[in-house]
């Protein structure tokens, strides 16, 4: 029995609050609500507008439209729930209506006990901290502050930095609980008081800071220490700082109104933080940044910086006048920005798995301070599945779509289940409960997903053969045994033989040995083919009546045999049974391997799936869920066939993984001019149905065997797929061309390309090249096999031609 690994991470529920940036009153309410929520400091605030305001980018530049910005924030944070400051403003962003709340829905009110609210409040946390720590006299007691603004104009700023409690009578019990548990010292905030707090910040706790107790925060952040200079009375600046602090390790808010009082602190901050990067031998420096908010006029920045922030230390005065665009995905050539990973508890369960009945049980995680009963959706469990059965059948990765439920409900209770870049997110209703999940195979998962997109699907004949090849060989480790051109030709030759479909034992063993003589697993190939029953050992006997040879399984051998050709009986050669004139040991192809036309294309499709799952997508690189070929009927009525379908998710060493990519594949064996116009047309239809999907054309042939017509067809589609969709910020469809070089790769593609030399070696000579990146792989294979320029050269030429046309038009 195999095992499946279930990694469970407990974190607070992630609420995204959506409001108009100038909505000062509701912004203050959001600060108050998050002070009352466990981990509320990390809940993002999404600015909503229908048109991009002029202040969004300096000098009036508009790189994004309003919808792209809002969707960008949502995609970056992947919230569990969206909370509207105004009813209806989240309605056009595709969020499941059941996961859209109003501000009044989050906290339970004392006068409306029947409404439970959402999320884990800090009340249980306060009670637990008091019982364990604060009811006793401590030698080194932390300083807990109740911070109040000196003037009402700074109320929102104070709540943004230190937290604050709701003013409504029905919610005042939060403020009372804070005072009763911690007896905080009252602090009236002005410039001088803030300077003192910052100087002693490691020893001071506020209500907002206590609300994240017990949470480990991995910022996955390489940003520099930052002084965020903002207008403390401007709501859009407070919104920006709140989000900046939620995703960056070191951001200190400096109100422009209090710069004179905070100037000394800022200069010491800059001087101390400008230092060599620890452990770096190349002289790399940490360079603190003075970041000015979008509301501060650019003409005033230099004067303010010179007067209050500049230090007399070479290289220490770094100025930034733009806000980091966390709503915009970073280009591939830059370091990827990821949100912090918030963790309360992590546990891993290795669960026995019966492939035929994949039911598993594991424990859900809950905060140790939480009461047994409380609000709805109090905490979240993030679950990652890893299949260690080596049969590669269970679906472990799913399309990333936090907006709606895109995956089946595995639990018996039908609880809410979201698929995100982090993993599968569930919301346990109670503490200390067991999860009972019925896992499903990749084929079933992909079929359910297709039906959810109103696409009828049915396993094709070729797909059935592909599935049988993979399952017979026991997964992709077994498929590696046929990752040799000579082995496939040997099996195909046996399948084409009339009557026997066999090869003599020594002949077969010698041919296998000759094909894989240089492979490090050469002794395993024959063993795998025999033990997995791709071939079966039997006896070839010559009929004494008609002289023809027939193959017989071992359990068919008897004193009297039936001839398959003349249908007469003849005697087994009991005398001299080893005489090769009458009898020979022989292997025969069986099951899908006995099908003609290279197992109906099953070899090519199986090797293509293996390529993504085990060659470029090894366990430390990516997770893959796959389905063999499907006949699809699109909502338009068009009928198409894909030879394989994949969900492919690249892993990320630090932070959240990459979004899952959809792959549709067309696989061919060795046929001449195999990729026809209708094949290319079908794949284009799929790309139009699923914008951004990756299209793969895989063949067992080598590049020099591709016909000019095939190259022309694929090049035309690849150029169409390179076109950029500005609204979705992605190319239409990356096209990957795979040849025998890739499909017959034993283990590492980069090693095979280096050994091949020439342009293959040149493309991967830079250490930063990652062939598990499908965009990179598409670009490289288009250059190698379709004779196309690199994507960047093609794009630059396109831009130059466009500029030349504009100049000619203007003249």
Residue 666 in domain:
yes
Residue 627 in domain:
yes
Could you read off the pLDDT of 747-796 as tens digits, one per residue?
Answer: 899 999 999 999 999 999 988 889 999 999 999 999 999 999 999 999 99
Are 629 and 748 in the same domain? yes
pTM beyond 0.85: the answer is yes
Could you read off the pLDDT of 3-35 as tens digits, one per residue?
Answer: 889 999 999 999 999 999 999 999 999 999 999
**Which whole number is the average pLDDT over 577-592?**
87
Instruction: Report helix, strand or coil for 8.
Output: strand
Q: How many residues does the chain have?
A: 811
Could you read off the pLDDT of 83-115 as tens digits, one per residue?
Answer: 999 999 999 999 999 999 999 999 999 877 778
Contact indicator for 178, 129 with CB cutoff of 8 Å: no
Residue 138's pLDDT is 66
Are 647 and 738 in the same domain? yes
Structure tokens at 36: 């009352």
Residue 567's pLDDT is 86
- Give CA–CA dist 333/174, Å, rounded: 47
Are 626 and 522 in the same domain? no
- Give CA–CA dist 110/395, Å, rounded: 45
Are 351 and 310 in the same domain? no
Residue 212 in domain:
no
- Give CA–CA dist 805/810, Å, rounded: 9
Are 252 and 307 in the same domain? yes
Could you read off the pLDDT of 218-231 as tens digits, one per residue?
Answer: 988 778 899 999 99
Are 437 and 481 in the same domain? no
Are 528 and 572 in the same domain? yes
Q: Which domain holds residue 307?
A: 224-323
Residue 91 in domain:
no
Are 425 and 498 in the same domain? no
Residue 331's pLDDT is 73
Lowest-confidence range among 485-489, 652-656, 702-706? Answer: 652-656
* C-alpha 190: how far from chain center: 45
- From 553, 571, 589, give the residue that closes a domain: 589
pLDDT grade, residue 139 (50/70/90)? low
Comparing CA positions, the residue from 28, 282, 53 lying closest to residue 149 is: 28
Residue 667 in domain:
yes
Residue 29 parent element (H or E): helix 24-35
Could you read off the pLDDT of 124-137 as tens digits, one per residue?
Answer: 999 999 998 887 76
Could you read off the pLDDT of 418-453 as tens digits, one per residue?
Answer: 999 999 999 998 888 888 898 999 999 999 999 989
Are 603 and 579 in the same domain? no
Does residue 356 surpass a pLDDT of 60?
yes
Could you read off the pLDDT of 183-233 as tens digits, one per residue?
Answer: 999 999 999 999 999 998 777 899 999 999 999 999 887 788 999 999 999
Comparing CA positions, the residue from 467, 738, 714 lying closest to residue 615 is: 738
- Give CA–CA dist 187/315, Å, rounded: 37
Could you read off the pLDDT of 493-518 as tens digits, one per residue?
Answer: 999 988 788 899 989 989 998 888 76
- From 421, 452, 483, give the residue that closes a domain: 452
- Give CA–CA dist 726/330, Å, rounded: 15
Alpha-carbon distances, residue 435 vs 394, 566, 796 (angstroms): 18, 62, 53
Residue 595's pLDDT is 93
Are 569 and 629 in the same domain? no
Burial 468-489 (b: 16+ CB within 10 A, else e): bbbbbbbbbbbbbbbbbbebbe
**Which whole number is the average pLDDT over 37-49?**
97
Residue of higher predicted confidence among 663 and 799: 663
Percent of the chain having pLDDT more than 70?
97
Instruction: Report helix, strand or coil for 461.
Output: helix
Q: Which residues contact 165 (CB under 8 A, 6 or more apart)?
A: 32, 35, 36, 171, 172, 174, 175, 178, 207
Structure tokens at 62: 């508009």
Q: What is the 3-state secondary structure (H, E, C) of 554-620?
A: HHHCCCEEECCCCCCEEECCCCCCCCCCCEEEEEEECHHHHCHHHHHCHHHHHHHHHHHHHHCCCCC
Are 659 and 773 in the same domain? yes
The total domain count for the chain is 4
Alpha helix stretches (DSSP H) within 163-234: 173-182, 191-199, 207-210
Residue 468 in domain:
no
CB atoms within 10 A of CB 389: 17
DSSP state of 394: B
Does residue 244 surpass a pLDDT of 90?
yes
pLDDT grade, residue 248 (50/70/90)? very high
Does residue 616 surpass a pLDDT of 90?
yes
Could you read off the pLDDT of 550-576 as tens digits, one per residue?
Answer: 889 888 888 889 988 888 899 888 877
Residue 387's pLDDT is 84
Taking every pair of Cα atoms in the chain, the longest distance, rounded to a whole number of angstroms, is: 112
Comparing CA positions, the residue from 444, 482, 466 lying closest to residue 644 is: 466
pLDDT grade, residue 520 (50/70/90)? low
Q: Which residues contact 175 (CB under 8 A, 6 or more apart)?
A: 165, 166
Residue 110 in domain:
no
Residue 1's pLDDT is 59
pLDDT grade, residue 653 (50/70/90)? confident
**Which whole number is the average pLDDT over 259-265?**
96
Residue 118's pLDDT is 94
Residue 645 parent element (H or E): strand 639-650
Residue 41 in domain:
no
Residue 609's pLDDT is 97
Are 719 and 797 in the same domain? yes
DSSP state of 715: H
CA dihedral (486, 491, 493, 498) in degrees, to 10, reads 170
Could you read off the pLDDT of 283-315 as tens digits, one per residue?
Answer: 788 899 999 999 999 999 999 999 999 999 988
Contact indicator for 686, 642 with CB cutoff of 8 Å: yes
């Amino acid at each position: 029995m195999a095992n499946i690994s279930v990694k469970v991470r407990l974190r607070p529920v992630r609420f995204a609050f959506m409001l108009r940036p100038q909505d000062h009153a509701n912004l203050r309410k959001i600060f108050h609500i998050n002070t009352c929520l466990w981990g509320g400091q990390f809940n993002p605030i999404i600015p909503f507008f229908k048109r991009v305001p002029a202040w969004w980018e300096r000098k009036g530049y508009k790189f994004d439209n309003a919808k792209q910005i809002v969707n960008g924030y949502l995609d970056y944070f992947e919230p569990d729930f969206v909370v509207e400051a105004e009813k209806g403003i989240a309605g056009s962003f595709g969020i499941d209506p059941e996961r859209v709340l109003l501000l009044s829905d989050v906290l339970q009110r004392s006068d409306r006990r029947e409404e439970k609210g959402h999320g884990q409040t800090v009340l249980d946390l306060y009670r637990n901290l008091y019982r364990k720590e604060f009811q006793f006299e401590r030698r080194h007691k932390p300083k807990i502050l109740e911070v109040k603004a000196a003037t009402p104009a700074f109320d929102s700023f104070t709540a943004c930095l230190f937290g604050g409690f709701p003013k409504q009578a029905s919610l005042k019990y939060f403020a009372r609980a804070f005072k009763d548990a911690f007896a905080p010292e009252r602090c009236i905030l002005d410039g001088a008081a803030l300077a003192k707090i910052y100087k002693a910040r490691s020893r001071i706790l506020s209500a907002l800071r206590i609300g994240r107790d017990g949470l480990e925060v991995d910022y996955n952040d390489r940003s520099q220490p930052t002084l965020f200079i903002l207008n403390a009375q401007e709501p859009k600046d407070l919104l920006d700082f709140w989000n900046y602090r939620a995703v960056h390790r070191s951001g200190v808010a400096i109100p422009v109104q209090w710069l004179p009082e905070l100037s000394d602190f800022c200069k010491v901050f800059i001087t101390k933080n400008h230092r060599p990067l620890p452990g770096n031998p190349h002289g790399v420096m940490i360079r603190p940044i003075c970041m000015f908010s979008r509301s501060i006029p650019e003409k005033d920045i230099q004067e303010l910086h010179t007067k209050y922030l500049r230090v007399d230390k070479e290289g220490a005065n770094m100025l930034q006048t733009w806000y980091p665009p966390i709503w915009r995905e970073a280009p591939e050539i830059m370091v990827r920005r990821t949100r912090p990973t918030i963790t309360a508890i992590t546990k891993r369960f290795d669960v026995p798995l019966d492939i035929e009945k994949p039911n598993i049980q594991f424990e859900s995680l809950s905060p140790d301070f939480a009461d047994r009963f409380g609000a709805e959706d109090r905490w979240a469990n993030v679950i990652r599945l890893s299949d260690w059965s080596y049969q590669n059948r269970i679906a472990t990765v799913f399309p990333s779509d936090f907006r709606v439920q895109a995956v089946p409900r595995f639990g018996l209770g039908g609880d809410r289940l979201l698929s995100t870049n982090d993993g599968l997110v569930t919301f346990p209703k109670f503490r200390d409960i067991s999860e009972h999940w019925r896992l499903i195979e990749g084929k079933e998962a992909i079929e359910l997903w297709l039906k959810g997109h109103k696409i009828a699907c049915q396993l094709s004949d070729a797909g059935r053969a592909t599935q049988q090849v993979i399952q017979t060989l026991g997964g992709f480790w077994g498929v590696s045994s046929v990752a040799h051109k000579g082995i496939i030709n040997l099996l195909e030759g046996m399948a084409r033989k009339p009557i026997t479909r066999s090869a003599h034992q020594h002949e077969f063993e010698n041919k296998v040995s000759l094909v894989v003589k240089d492979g490090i697993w050469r002794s395993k190939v024959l063993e795998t083919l025999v033990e997995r029953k791709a071939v079966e050992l039997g006896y070839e006997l010559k009929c004494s009546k008609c002289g023809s040879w027939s193959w017989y399984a071992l359990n068919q051998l008897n004193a009297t045999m039936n001839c398959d050709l003349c249908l007469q009986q003849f005697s087994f050669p009991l005398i001299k049974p080893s005489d090769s004139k009458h009898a020979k040991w022989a292997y025969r192809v069986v099951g899908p391997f006995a099908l003609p036309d290279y197992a109906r294309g099953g070899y090519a499709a199986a090797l293509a799936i293996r390529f993504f799952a085990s060659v470029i997508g090894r366990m430390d690189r990516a997770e893959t869920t796959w389905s063999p070929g499907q006949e699809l009927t699109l909502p338009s009525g068009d009928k198409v066939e894909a030879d394989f379908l994949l969900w492919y998710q690249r892993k990320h060493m630090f932070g959240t993984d990459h979004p899952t990519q959809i792959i549709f594949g067309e696989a061919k064996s060795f046929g001449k001019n195999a990729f026809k116009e209708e094949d290319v047309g079908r794949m284009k239809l799929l790309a139009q149905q699923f914008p951004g999907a990756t299209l793969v054309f895989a063949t067992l042939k080598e590049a020099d065997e591709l016909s000019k017509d095939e190259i022309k067809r694929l090049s035309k589609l690849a150029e169409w797929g390179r076109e950029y969709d500005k609204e979705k910020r992605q190319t239409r469809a990356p096209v990957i061309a795979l040849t025998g070089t890739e499909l017959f790769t034993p283990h590492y593609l980069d090693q095979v390309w280096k050994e091949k030399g020439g342009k293959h070696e040149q493309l991967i000579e830079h250490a930063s090249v990652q062939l598990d990146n499908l965009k990179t792989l598409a670009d490289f294979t288009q250059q190698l096999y379709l004779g196309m320029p690199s994507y960047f050269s093609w794009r630059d030429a396109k831009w130059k031609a466009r500029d030349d046309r504009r100049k000619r038009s203007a003249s």
